[in-house]
Amino acid sequence: KNEVEQSPQNLTAQEGEFITINCSYSVGISALHWLQQHPGGGIVSLFMLSSGKKKHGRLIATINIQEKHSSLHITASHPRDSAVYICAVSHMDSNYQLIWGAGTKLIIKP
């Protein structure tokens, strides 16, 4: 079993829809990361959080430490949001390494 599981693997939605991507993990963590990768592009960090909720524009990330679960929400989705969204966790025993989820491929149709 992977230590970081994302769902769904693939998601196609219409422009304007509310999007939710989920991440569950099985290890103790010091932080959880959400990252974005556009086709052919590098990886960009969206959020790093260890509790509660963070918001940046139309993106919202939440984490429930007790349930070992995080969600990334996109409100009023747009075709430019089409990308792979990756969840990763910083293991509490390591300051350096991240444990990676497999990613969620999101396609927003106009």
Residues 23-42 that bind another protein (CB under 8 A): 30-31, 33, 41-42
Q: Is 11 in the site for another protein (CB under 8 A)?
A: no
Minimum Å gap between C-beta 14 and another protein is 25
Contact status, residue 68 vs residue 24, Cβ threshold 8 Å: yes
How many Cβ atoms sit within 10 Å of the Cβ of residue 105? Answer: 16
Per-position x/- string for 46-85, each x denoting binding to another protein as judged by CB under 8 A, each - no binding: --x-------------------------------------
DSSP state, 67?
T
Q: Is 103 in the site for another protein (CB under 8 A)?
A: yes
Q: Is 90 in the site for another protein (CB under 8 A)?
A: yes
58: left (phi over 0), alpha (psi -120 to 50) or beta: alpha
| Upper half-sphere CA count for residue 20 (Cβ side, 13 Å) | 6
What is the residue whose two structure tokens read 């106009």?
110
Interface residues with another protein (CB under 8 A) are 30-31, 33, 41-45, 48, 86, 90, 95-98, 100-103
